[in-house]
Each structure stands twice: as structure tokens, then as C-alpha cells.
Structure 1
Amino acid sequence: MARGKIKWFDAAKGYGFIKPDDGSPDVFVHVSKVMEASLPHLRPGMALKYSVEQDGAKLFAKDLSLVSSEPAPREPGKVGDDFADEFEREWGLRQI
């Protein structure tokens, strides 16, 4: 599995990019793969392990997992709620 850090991730857009540790080109990561892995909201600098799928010249991350000495701070089942909250705040659908 490859390793890298989140370069940026926009929950409202539903995607972001991973900067691989080996210096290879950035890898696209879609929110569906984040949710499949039950990960918390991704923040820049978070370390991940992942598999790479290639479609032509495009690289996609799948099979995501956090690289950390301690477990991710989250409650079971909250990934979808976190995403919905973030999306609604960013698009002005929810008052803060």
C-alpha cells in the first residue's frame, strides 16, 4: 500500500488530493472512498495508507486507512453526519 498525506479535501465538493510520500504525482480521493473506509473528515496533513487505481493518466485512491499511533477521534456512525454538517455549513444551508 502507498502512503501519503492529505494535501487538501473539500467536503462540499466531495473530493480532494493526497500527496504521496514517495514524491509521485498527487492522487485524487473521492468522498465515497472516505465514507467506505469510515474515516473522519479529512484534514490537510493527515497521514493515510491507500491503494492506487489508475484510469489512463488519472490516479485514484481506494482502500483508505489512517496512519496513526492513536485511534482517530470519532464516534461510530458519525462520518455521514460530519459530512452533511460540513456540506450544509459551507453552502449556507444551515445557520451557525
Structure 2
Amino acid sequence: MPSGKVRWFDQKRGYGFITDEDGNDVFLPAAALPSDVSTLRKGAKVEFSLVDGRKGPQAMDLHLLGPAPSVVRATRPEADDMAAIVEDLIKLLDKAGNSLRRHRYPNPEESRKLATLLRAVADNFDVEC
């Protein structure tokens, strides 16, 4: 049974591509996914049956071999660095809270910066992304 890695998969379109062991692209229709899987992450290792499709090789009867590597987990800051980031964020949130207590939202520019920082910090905590 050939194996490879998911190059990309788009759940909305219902297809994607696998790069096999030889570096060839293999079409991956959503129908080839196991019944309990609705989407695949880039880099996920898979085994599949190979059939000739209208436009070239096509994967069928796909089996996941392991989870895709987590980019977030590999690139997130060290715990000590993250502690400093969280402490700085707390100071910014405290400032925003004081402004809200005076019945005023922070100005749009500060609000955008704060929202961006909150999303970035949340992504570093959410290792399953």
C-alpha cells in the first residue's frame, strides 16, 4: 500500500493532494477519507490505495498513520518568555479595563493592537492548532 503526506486538503472543495514517497502528486477526493474523518491537516502521514483517475493517479481507501506535526507546538515561545509576555498583556488589559470603567472603549488603534496580541497569545496556548 503506498504512503505519503497530505500536501493540502480543502474540506469546502471536497478534495486535496497527497505527495507520495516518490514525490508525485496524487489526487485526494473527500470520498477517500475514513468515515470518522472530515478534513486533513497538511503534513499528515497517510496510506492509501492508488487507482487511475480521469486526470492521473487518485487515492482511495485512505488510512491515517499519525497526526500532522503541530506548527504551533514547534514554534511557541519557551515558558519563561511566555510568562513575560502574559505579564505585559495583563498590564495592557488592566489599562483597557480602567478605560472601560470610565465608560469608554480604548481608541480603535489600541483596540486593534490588543485584539491582535490576545489572538497571538491564545494561539501559543492552544497547542492543538
TM-score grouping bracket, smaller chain normalisation: 0.5 to 0.7
Alignment correspondent of 2:58: 60
Consecutive unaligned residues of structure 1, counting only runs of 5 or more, are: 70-96
**Structure 1 residues 65 and 37, CA, compared in 2 at 3 Å: closer, same or farther?**
farther
Quick one: structure 1 residues 58 and 68, their matched pair in 2 at CA, closer, same or farther if it must change by over 3 Å? Answer: same
Higher relative contact order (CA 8 A, sep 6+): 1
In structure 1, how many angstroms separate the alpha carbons of the residues matched to 2:11 and 2:51? Answer: 21
Instruction: Give the TM-score taking structure 2 as reference length.
Output: 0.47
Tell me, in whole angstroms, the C-alpha distance in 1 between the residues paired with 2:55 and 2:29.
Answer: 17
Amino acid at match of 2:15: Y
Who is 2:4 aligned against? Answer: 4
Aligned partner of 2:21 in structure 1 is 21
Tell me how far apart the structure 2 counterparts of residues 19 and 54 of structure 1 sit (CA, whole Å): 16
In structure 1, how many angstroms separate the alpha carbons of the residues matched to 2:9 and 2:60?
A: 15
Higher strand proportion, which one?
A: 1
Identity %: 36
TM-score scaled to structure 1, two decimals? 0.61
> 1:16-95 maps to which residues of 2 (within 5 A)?
16-23=16-23, 25-34=24-33, 36-55=34-53, 58-68=56-66
Provide closer, same or farther for how the CA distance between residues 30 and 56 of structure 1 changes in structure 2, counting only shifts above 3 A. Answer: closer
Larger-Rg structure: 2
RMSD, aligned α-carbons: 1.9
Q: Is the 8 A contact 1:37 1:64 kept in 2?
A: no
